[in-house]
Chain A
Amino acid sequence: MARNGRNRLTRSPTRIRNTMKLVLQIEDNHANRLLVERVFEQMAGYQLIQANDGESGVGLALEQHPDLVLVDMGLPDIDGQTVTTIMRQVPELQNTPIVAITAWPEDKAQEMVDRYGLDGCITKPIDIRQFPKQIAHYLPLDS
């Protein structure tokens, strides 16, 4: 279950290991974070943590080792591309699926995915009916 924090970092309760899939969302826009949080509340088997900028997102990823990272490409400090390059250089996160959530045109978004070694992208604004399936595609519960 996601928790909204007052601080830059949104800290989850101690992760319930081996039973829940942990998803980290890095997104600066409060409304977008809230929307994703509401969708995750309906998704059994997934636990969401959130960060509102790149630096705290990387910190949270290093601390919590999520099973999936959802990253907004436009962040106020370091952008999603640089966040991805940092994570890909950390051994513990090298194989973590990283998915961009972006409003960029499809061809540009795909180029970013290919160039930066992301695992995919989800178009903004998210479709709340499709979003759970999209998450399950990148992070199946039985993986």
Chain B
Amino acid sequence: MEVLAADQFTLEELTEAYNQTRVDYLVPMPMNVAKLREYTQIYDVSLPHSVVVVSDDLILGLGMLGVRKNRCWITRLGVLPYGRRLGTGSTIMNALIERAGNHNFNKAWLEVIKGNDPAHRLFNRFGFTETRELIVGRRPPAPNKTPPPQEIDRVTTLDHEEAIILLSHRAKRPNWLNEVETMHNARNLSALLVELKNGGRGWVTYHAGLLQLTRIIVEVTAGDPEEVTATVLHVLHQRHRRQDAIAENLPDDEQWLGFQRMGYFDSFRRIEMVKNMEE
């Protein structure tokens, strides 16, 4: 086997190989070239740091490395069906960890889909430990004629730059997908600041596409987390009635109860994992 840097391949080749790794996956999430390009840009994936494993000119597997200040993120790791049971996964992980080590990152992060036990065990073997379980929530568009859960005092609409400022002041550590850098790269975010008559306060940032609401982040700055979250989302979906909503990598906490009250359900879960690179 030979390990090559991913930037030696075209995006078409990488997309084709990646899709083949996901043919029989638990939650297949195929990509096209445009999506992969967007993915690398939004999540700061470095193709020179990412790897492709080949044997006799055949791609056996690949893995990508997101790079930000002091930390990195392993993503899109996959082994093609004919590359399995050959140690390809370990080869990819060795190569990515080595590249991460060369750049003095403090921590390496990744997520594994809950239930993907072979991948989970692989990551454990390489020193990754579990931090939290994250939810990918979905909400099909639905008419909502019910009043908001809590009485609203004021709603303020904010633009992308203001949304980034809000996102920079979150109480809890965001997952890579939801970090400020990601949201900054995603562009065209909007935000709603919702103030309740009972003193509760919260905001939501999101991207409103024609067909989907994505990049949904809710923060409660005062009041009951579940009630404020539900009210904020009520406002969001009253303004955007027709789009399918996707909220990725939400912590399983009281706010998730608020999401569920507004019609979100648990599509699937990811396990976030971390490796301390300084050990």
Contact = CB atoms under 8 A, between A and B. Distances in A.
Contacts of A77: 32, 34-35
B141 A85 contact: yes
Contacts of B27: 74, 104
Chain B residues touching A, majority SS:
loop
Nearest to A58: B211
Interface residues of A, number: 23
Contacts of B105: none
Contacts of B22: 74
A111 B265 contact: yes
A75 B243 CA distance: 17
A53 interface: yes
Q: Which of A53, A85, A108, A112 counts the most chain B CB atoms within 10 A?
A: A85
Contacts of A28: 19, 30
Contact of B23 (A29, A53, A116): A29
Given A28-B30, A78-B211, A112-B267, 19 more contacts: A29-B19, A73-B28, A74-B27, A76-B19, A76-B31, A77-B34, A77-B35, A82-B211, A82-B212, A85-B140, A85-B141, A85-B244, A89-B141, A89-B242, A103-B24, A103-B25, A103-B28, A116-B140, A117-B140
Given A81-B140, A85-B140, A108-B268, A76 B30 contact: yes
Contacts of A108: 267-268
A25 B22 CA distance: 20
Interface of B: 19, 22-32, 34-35, 138, 140-141, 211-212, 242-244, 265, 267-268
Interface in A2-50: 28-29
A139 to B, nearest CB: 23
Given A29-B23, A86-B211, A53 B32 contact: yes
A83 to B, nearest CB: 9
Chain A residues touching B, majority SS:
loop
Interface of A: 28-29, 53, 73-78, 81-82, 84-86, 89, 103-104, 108, 111-112, 115-117
Given A81-B244, A89-B242, A108-B268, A76 B140 contact: no
A104 B28 CA distance: 9
A116 B211 CA distance: 14
Contacts of B267: 108, 112
A65 to B, nearest CB: 20
B228 to A, nearest CB: 25
A74 B211 CA distance: 16
B237 to A, nearest CB: 13
Contact of A115 (B26, B140, B211, B212): B140
14 contacts: A29-B23, A53-B32, A74-B29, A74-B30, A81-B140, A81-B244, A85-B140, A86-B211, A89-B242, A103-B28, A104-B27, A108-B268, A111-B265, A116-B140
B125 to A, nearest CB: 26
B29 A78 contact: no
A75 B244 contact: no
Nearest to B266: A111
A63 to B, nearest CB: 18
Contacts of A75: 30
A39 B27 CA distance: 26
A76 B265 contact: no
Contacts of A29: 19, 23, 30
A78 B138 CA distance: 14
A17 to B, nearest CB: 30
A89 B265 CA distance: 21
Contacts of B19: 28-29, 76
Nearest to A55: B211
Nearest to B34: A77
